[in-house]
Amino acid sequence: MYEDFMKMAQESMKPMLKMAENNTAMAVKLMQAQAETSAELMQSNLAHVQALAEIKDLNVAVEMQQKYVETLNEKLANVAKDNAAVVEAAVTEAGKIVEGSMVEVQAQAKKAAESMEKEIGKAGKKAA
């Protein structure tokens, strides 16, 4: 009985463990992307400032700044899309985990109901 209970407890924890693994994988991907993006932005900002420092013509500097801002906006938009894709994939996986666990719970409930029906039937025969 105790072994059955422990086995059932372990089985019921599997979906939660899968969810935790899914969330951890998502967090790791997002943190790696953030670290890479931060390093890239710092390097590009430094290179841009160094290039601006060498420019003598104000019009050229303004054009350079505008191009840099456009490029920066594109980079940030792409990073946001990539991050959204990572989150969307994790949410989809979480949905699959929940759906799978619900099917499993329903199967276990059906099995338990059938087992109880058998036991009730046996008890009824003994009583008669």
How many other CB atoms are found less than 10 A from the CB of residue 89?
Answer: 14
Predicted local distance difference test score (pLDDT) of residue 122: 76
pLDDT tens, position by position, 83-98: 999 999 999 999 898 8
pLDDT tens, position by position, 59-90: 999 999 999 999 999 999 999 999 999 999 99
Give the C-alpha separation, 34 to 82, whole Å.
Answer: 11
Query: Contact at 8 Å (CB) between 98 and 16?
Result: no
* CA-to-CA dists, residue 115 to 7, 75, 108, angstroms: 17, 60, 10
Closest CA to 34 of 89, 91, 79: 79
Give the C-alpha separation, 33 to 79, whole Å.
Answer: 8
Give the C-alpha separation, 19 to 32, whole Å.
Answer: 20
pTM recorded for the entire structure: 0.68
Q: What are phi and psi of 70, to 5 degrees?
A: -60, -45
